[in-house]
Amino acid sequence: MIKSLFPELSIRGKRLLPVIQGGMGVGVSAHRLAGTVAREGAVGTIASIDLRCLHADLMERTRRSRDAKLIDAANLEALDREIRTARAIAGPEGFIAVNVMKAVDKHADLVRQACESGADAIVMGAGLPFDLPDLVAGHEDVALIPILSEERGVRAVLKKWMRKGLLPDAIIIEHPRYAGGHLGATRIDEVASPRFDFGRVFDEARKMFTDLGLAMDRIPLIAAGGVNSFERIREIFNWGGSGVQLGTPFAVTEEGDAHINFKRILAEALPQQVVTFMSAAGLPARAVLTPWLEKYLNREEKVRARATAERASCAGHFECLSHCGLKDGNPRAGQFCIERQLAAAVEGNVEKGLFFRGSEPLPFGPDIRPVRDLLEYLLTGLRPAGHHPA
């Protein structure tokens, strides 16, 4: 067990290292990464989106199918396999979470499958998860952890859940200025707003807890976005945080589930190669400026100007997002199939892939290190033998 210099994180009576590995789809954080992180004593997270891409037999079964039910069933089967295999790696004491995007059309089915397959927690972002307590009915032992970005969202979720007699087991506060993937802001010009700053949101949340009759330390607050060093985590704890969530540094570990080319692209990207753009989900997103993304952004203005509901067409054979710029012909959102681009990325295809990434430098630069090295550095400040800061 790693000897953390920070207090443990307690969720549902389990004492954990104060680190949640972020959920990264499609297929970037699956059984190998989540199981390894959980075995080390932190929270390992499986991203639930389109996991069939990691299973050759399921891809063969659905490759040419236009049957949405068949594809959905394959993804649920893949999620079940991934959770059970992660559990085998982590052991009975390991804590396995499943990340489910609220914006995904089948989020309710994914939550129910995760619970039935033995997940310890559901982490939900990309929308306000008002219905999450209802979706886990019959699985009250599963911890519920929403991802939010500001006081307004935290207050809305708390009030809604309290009417159902429930509270979150923790709340992840994700800063749009630093996080990778879909961001918790509605417009690109909002992502750097000071209303998202961790210290401010923590203070506002604790005051809100008091207003609602809750103890100030009743719900752990977890900071996400830009977490890349022991010093940064110490700063977050000084602000009153109880832990951190990080994605990109875990994506490039030896145990990460993505192709080695994927890891190298993320690890070697320079700050100027990481850009913010409007995703197909209608939210700002952050990714590496690869050839595919650069080509898309060069023609984005034209394709968005032509987008109408009458011209809308889905490039896939099923609905992955509840609202998609391409499927719905929404000119305010990106005009591409996000599932296809993310599936290409996990295979390391730089010409077609969309490589989500956080904004900050990685702890070990371009080096690809084991999960244990990353956790030890984050929680003790000690760098592994043979690595020196650039």
Q: How confident is the model at residue 103 (pLDDT cuts 50, 70, 90)?
A: confident
Residue 235 in this model has a pLDDT that exceeds 60: yes
Per-residue pLDDT band for 215 (boundaries 50, 70, 90) equals confident
Query: What would you report as the CA-atom Rg of the chain, rounded to the nearest whole angstrom?
Result: 20
- Residue 2: count other Cβ atoms within 10 Å of its Cβ: 15
Q: What's residue 312's pLDDT?
A: 56
**Cα separation, 298 vs 189, whole angstroms:** 19
Please give the pLDDT value at position 249: 97
How distant, in Å, are the alpha carbons of 13, 143, 181 from that of 277? 40, 33, 10
For residues 178 and 359, the answer to whether their CB atoms sit within 8 Å is yes
Indicate whether 234 pLDDT > 90: yes
The three-state (H, E, C) secondary structure of 270-296, written as one string: CHHHEEEEECCCCCEEEEECCHHHHHH
Cis, peptide link before residue 28, omega less than 30° from 0: no
Return mean pLDDT, the chain: 89
Residue 266 to residue 132: CA distance in whole angstroms = 32
Alpha carbons within 13 A on the beta-carbon side of 209: 18
Q: How far is Cα 287 from Cα 355, in angstroms, rounded to an integer?
A: 5
Report the pLDDT value the prediction gives residue 272, as an integer from 0 to 100: 87
How many residues are present in the chain?
Answer: 390
pTM value > 0.85:
yes
What average pLDDT does the segment 40-60 reach? 92
Q: Which domains does the chain have, with CATH numbers?
A: 9-266+363-380 (3.20.20.70), 270-346 (no CATH)
pLDDT in tens, 126-173: 888 999 999 999 999 999 999 999 999 999 999 999 999 999 999 999
If you write DSSP's letter for every residue of 171-187 in order, what string do you get?
EEEE-TTT--EE-S-SS
For 160-213, the pLDDT digits (tens) are 999 999 999 999 999 999 999 889 888 898 999 999 999 999 999 999 999 988
Long-range contact pairs involving 368-373 (C-beta distance under 8 Å, separation at least 24) = 368/252, 368/253, 368/254, 368/260, 368/263, 368/264, 368/267, 369/253, 369/254, 370/253, 370/254, 370/255, 371/33, 371/36, 371/37, 371/40, 371/250, 371/253, 371/254, 371/255, 372/2, 372/40
Per-residue pLDDT, 279: 85
Per-residue pLDDT for 35 more than 70? yes
What integer is the mean pLDDT of 26-40? Answer: 95
Digit-coded pLDDT (tens) for 265-320: 999 998 889 999 988 777 889 999 999 999 989 988 887 777 666 555 665 545 47
Would you say 348 and 259 are in contact if contact means Cβ atoms under 8 Å apart? yes
